[in-house]
Amino acid sequence: MTILSKPFLKWAGGKSKLVPILSKHLGVKGRLVEPFVGSGSVFMGTDFNDYLLCDSNPDLIGLFNNLKHCSKDLILQVNDIFADKYNSEEAFYDLRSEFNQLSSENLRKSVLFVYLNKHSFNGLCRYNSKGFFNVSYGRYSSPTAPIREMELFSEKSKRAEFVCTDFSKTFDMVKEGDIVYCDPPYVPFSSSSNFTAYTKGTFNDENQECLTKLAESCRDKNIKVVISNHDTEFTRRIYSKAVLHELDVHRSISGKSSSRGKVSELIAVYNRKRCQT
C-alpha cells in the first residue's frame, strides 16, 4: 500500500515541500537509509519498500517506535492531551517538566513530545547542555492533535526500522543496494543563525566533513548518497567531489520572523559508479 503524507511533527528544516525534487535524485528502488530522519518528511513522502531511519535524538526515536508498536494507546492519549485545559502557559511548563523526567522509551514521554511540538514556540525541538527540552510556550490559540497524520505514519512504519544512533554508526549499517539521504543540521550562514541543538550535543564543521568522507566512501562501494545543506563557500568546498544541484527554499521555522524567507541550498549527489545520473 502506498502511503504518501506530510509528517505529523513540526520540524525546522523539514523537507515536505522538497520531496518531489529529492525524489528525482533518490529514485524508488532499494532501501532508503536516513541518518538524520527528523520529522520523517522524506519517509512519508517517498515510496521505498524498506527504510532504515536513524537519529541521535532518543526521544524522537522513542516516539516513532511507540507509534509503530503501540499506536492505538499513543494516539488516544495524544488526542486527550490536546484538550483546551492543557493549552495554557501553566499547563505547558508543568508538562514540559514532566517530559524532562521520563525515559525516552516511555509512552507518556512520546505523548508529551507531540504535545510540546505543537504547543512550544515555533515548534522547535531544542535541548540544553543537560539534555532537558527547553523551548518556551508558543501561545497558540487552538493547537490541533495530528491524529490522521499519526495514523498514516503508524501504518507506513511497518516498512521501517527506527534506530537511535550517531550518523557515523548509521553508515556502518549501510549495504550495497541502499540509497542514503542525509539531512544534517545545516551549516549556518552566520554565527548568529547557528541552530544545531536537536540533541544535547552539537554538529560542527568537523562533523560536516566527516559526513562528506562517509558519503565518498559509500560512492566508492557503489552506494548512492544524497546530502542537503545550505549553499555556502564551506559546503561547496567539502562537497567538491559530488554533483551539486542548486535551489531556493522557503524557510518557515526560525527564531526571528525576519530570518524567514527564501534561502539558497545545495543538493550534493554522490552517484554510484555504474549508475551516473
- For the cut 50, the answer to whether the pLDDT of residue 195 exceeds it is no
Report the alpha-carbon distance of residue 162 to residue 63 in Å, rounded.
10
Strand-pair partners of 179: 32, 224
44-89 pLDDT, tens digit per residue, is: 999 999 999 999 999 999 999 999 999 999 999 999 999 999 999 9
User: Could you tell me the sign of the dihedral formed by the alpha carbons of 29, 31, 36, 37, in that order?
Assistant: positive
The whole-model pTM stands at: 0.90
Count the Cβ atoms, other than its own, within 10 Å of residue 226: 24
Could you give the 3-state DSSP secondary structure of residue 28?
coil
Which superfamily, per CATH, for 16-65+159-270? Vaccinia Virus protein VP39 (3.40.50.150)
Q: Where are the domains of the chain?
A: 16-65+159-270, 70-149
- Residue 275 has what DSSP assignment? B
| Lowest pLDDT segment from 134-143, 181-190, 250-259 | 250-259
Query: Is the CATH number of domain 70-149 1.10.3720.10?
Result: no
| Residue 245 CA neighbour count, 13 Å, CB half | 15
